[in-house]
Amino acid sequence: MLLALAGLPAMLAPQHRLVGPLSRVAEVVVLGLAASQVAAVATVGGHIGGLGASAVLPYLAVPVTVTALRRRFREGAALIAVTAGSLLVAGAVTEVGGVRQLSQPGYLAVCAQWLILAALGLYAAGTLHRVMQVRHDSKPQPYAEATRLLTQLRTVARQLPGATLDPGGISEHLLEELRTVARTDRGAVLSASGGGRLVVLAQLGADRVDWETTIDADSAIADAWASQQSQTSARSQSRSHRGGEVSALIVPLVAGLRTVGLVVLETDTAHAYPPPVVAQVTGLTGPAALRLEAALLFDEVRSLATNEERQRLAREIHDGVAQELVMVGYGIDNALATVHDDAEETAESLRLLRHEVTRVITELRLSLFELRSEVDRHGGLAAAIAEYARTVGASGGLRVHLSLDESTARLPAATEAELLRIAQEAVTNARKHAGAANLWVTCEVDPPYAQIEVSDDGHGIGDQRSDGHYGLAIMAERAERIRGRLEIRPRQPSGTTVAVVVGSPPRRDNVRGSAAAAEGE
């Protein structure tokens, strides 16, 4: 009864800073006194002296367990100490048959047993809590971990020799390095692009080669990719090879457990890659694989961040400025409807203002279209450029002429994205500033080569406004980023041509036919 009364406040106010702890202290004090009295009664009844305390002391687990569950381990230790004190005091003042209870071995043994068990239980609970806390702390939250990794990536990128994380540049350097240890008439570095296909990052040789880029085909390239082992072959890995003796060496670029690319070397000589040469080439590709993986990952992170930022800007423009301008237009329309017939000058000013608002809204919608335009993984670069040229050209009253020549092989995603932005800027400049009637867009893609040309029959580049020249600077920066060449020249008899070229052009007699389309709108 006394134990129930002592524990009642803790049950009614378990979270209170004073009531709960004081109630549990009262419980263990009553528990110690009760254990002493029960042991004394049991001794008088003929039981072994002091063992009767074992009938009450197991209740000590209740307040100690409560403190452990509430993670109040110091309070639990204090309760055990108070219990020990109450047992000692009660045992010292209680006499049974003229003998102090504290001098009975049975009483001391039972009290020590249950106090030790309570202390061990509390210690085990505290240890388990600390282990779980360490595991939780050692698992960073996703955004904190992402921030840490991105910070490390930025630091490493700044400290790299030459401060470059360009997959194309790394691939070209690797091919030149391998050329010094293995005979090479032509070579390439390939990387994955998704969909079971590879993209050509760099090529070596006098002629442009149409490499096998399907990793699920029956070829040495597919075998090297799947097995992560170097492969030699007496068959060319180029679909444009004309026959004759050939030696091919395909070396996978493996970083850790992941295949990040392949190096393909070929020469028109039989048995040109014996095991010692293969070992030398493999030794050089190991470190290059790590550099290439870092560059590809950096490209992917940059592309994701850029696309996310473009989508965010598009959403903000659509939900903010664009909607507000539409409301302004409606307000002008309402004002026009209420203008008196004799206020013709005011009405004309409102009509001019309404026309200007409509023009700005149209420009915003085209900007939204540009921000949201991306190279579709299945459609390709030519399709994306054609769609943009048609849409923007039609809005500006331009007659658009398209000439598209794109092979089934793909450029790296980062290169395609930059080429699309350059083409968009060139088309936009022609629409805004050229005053042209016709727009010619040419797209030729044969990885790693690509050429985009945008021509108009307008006033020429000399008459463009300052914001047009700023667009030219942006195009030059984008071309430099993908190691391309930007050329801006007059078009005869009138107009301007903007051209960007990546890589060197193929020899037409050495390239397979690609899907070409030409249309005029």
pLDDT at 509: 44
Claim to verify: residue 52 and residue 111 sit in the same structural domain: yes
- Could you give the residue ranges of the DSSP H alpha helices within 13-104? 19-44, 61-69, 73-93
Claim to verify: residue 12 and residue 129 sit in the same structural domain: yes
Q: Which two tokens stand for residue 284?
A: 């050089």
Q: How far apart are CA 276 and CA 271, in angstroms?
A: 12
Claim to verify: residue 384 and residue 519 sit in the same structural domain: yes
Claim to verify: residue 33 and residue 71 sit in the same structural domain: yes
Residues in contact with 244: Cβ distance below 8 Å, sequence separation at least 6, in sequence order? 268
Determine the number of helices (DSSP H) and then strands (DSSP E) in the chain. 14, 13
Confidence band (pLDDT; 50, 70, 90) for 513?
very low
User: Which residue range is the domain that position 464 belongs to?
Assistant: 376-521
Is 413 a member of any domain?
yes
| Domain harbouring 218, CATH code | 3.30.450.40
Is 472 a member of any domain?
yes
Is 176 a member of any domain?
yes
pLDDT at 21: 72
> Structural domain tally of the chain?
3
Claim to verify: residue 78 and residue 197 sit in the same structural domain: no
pLDDT at 508: 47
Q: Which two tokens stand for residue 266?
A: 């070929």
Claim to verify: residue 107 and residue 175 sit in the same structural domain: no
Task: Give residue for tokens 């659509």.
Answer: 318
* Three-class SS state of 378: coil
User: Helices 2-12 and 19-44 sit at what angle, rounded to 10 degrees?
Assistant: 160
User: pLDDT by residue (tens digit) across 73-112?
Assistant: 777 788 778 878 877 777 777 776 667 767 777 777 777 8
Residue that terminates a domain, selected from 285, 320, 354: 285
Claim to verify: residue 98 and residue 206 sit in the same structural domain: no
High-pLDDT (> 70) share of the chain, %: 78
Residue that terminates a domain, selected from 230, 251, 285: 285
User: pLDDT by residue (tens digit) across 345-366?
Assistant: 888 888 899 888 888 888 788 7
High-pLDDT (> 90) share of the chain, %: 13
- pTM of the full predicted structure? 0.53
User: pLDDT by residue (tens digit) across 259-278?
Assistant: 889 999 999 888 899 999 99
| Domain harbouring 444, CATH code | 3.30.565.10
Is 361 a member of any domain?
no
Is 290 a member of any domain?
no
Claim to verify: residue 383 and residue 245 sit in the same structural domain: no
Is 308 a member of any domain?
no
376, 394, 395: which is closest to 385 by C-alpha?
376
Claim to verify: residue 278 and residue 414 sit in the same structural domain: no
Claim to verify: residue 391 and residue 517 sit in the same structural domain: yes
Claim to verify: residue 490 and residue 419 sit in the same structural domain: yes
Residue that terminates a domain, selected from 285, 309, 330: 285
Claim to verify: residue 131 and residue 222 sit in the same structural domain: no
Is 152 a member of any domain?
no
